[in-house]
Structure 1
Amino acid sequence: MKKLLIVAHAPSDNTRLMAEAVLKGAKHSDIEQVETHWVQPLAATPDDVLSCDGIIMGTTENLGYMSGALKDFFDRCYYPCLEIKQGLPCALYVRAGHDGTGTCRAVESICTGLRWHWIQVPLVCRGAWQATFLEQCEELGMTMAAGLDVGIY
């Protein structure tokens, strides 16, 4: 059984719905060999990362940067995971009020240092709330979990 970890900051109802959509996609009925769970960044530990086979991170765009909670997660997990989790498949989604560029750049920089492997470009849900954000998040969760399930990642 493979393990997919979702580390997503969800400070609002909409961002909670986005994290739940990622979780829903990852738990699609056709995906049989992947166990998925969502942890808030402030509760996530290095052991969570060390025991997973793939990770999806979710954050809000805060002043052109990732949330403080996701930054705290990286601060605590970077060095304990650096040498052990190289090549970890990862993905990112951002709830951006503006363009999300700085947020993506910051997370990508840290993940590059960790030598994690991006399964796709970050999903950036920009501007005013749209119901399609949930569909996109669900698809992201399903893509990662399906790839783990069949051994692509």
Structure 2
Amino acid sequence: MKMYQLSRTQILPVPLTVAWDFFSDPRNLAAITPPDMGFVITSPVPERTHAGMVVTYAVSPFGGLRLPWVTEITHCAEPSLFVDEQRFGPYRFWHHQHHFLEVSGGVEMRDIVHYILPFGIIGRLSAPVVAKRLKAIFDYRRDTLAVRFAALSRGA
């Protein structure tokens, strides 16, 4: 069983409270997910993330294949960190850390994702395809956040 990691860091030109308010509202996840993933929250969600919160989604990570995904927020330390872990979904293991640190010029946001693919050797053989897709998802997220928070920092 091989564990893979994706790590991304981005500076957002907004105060920590603005970044936290956006990311701690689970309803905003759809806005930073590529449209071709067909991401839909399928459970009621509160306006703020909290430890123990369980959220269900439907996603289409590859083509038209529609999959359920259940995550739990296992850690939440406002306004600096929250962790979501897959309880049921497309991965054998998914652990996503969201870190927020106030820095000169805004907030450093860091994502650290550890994941294990299902299906043994078949999963390992598909690892380059999955890594490429995750990179594209996080590239979309980076670009969308850059536009969104640049507009907010200009007061638009």
Q: TM-score, normalised by structure 2?
A: 0.31
Higher relative helix content: 1
Q: TM-score, normalised by structure 1?
A: 0.31
Higher relative strand content: 2
Greater Cα radius of gyration, structure 1 or 2: 2
Q: Which has the higher contact order (CA 8 A, sep 6+)?
A: 1
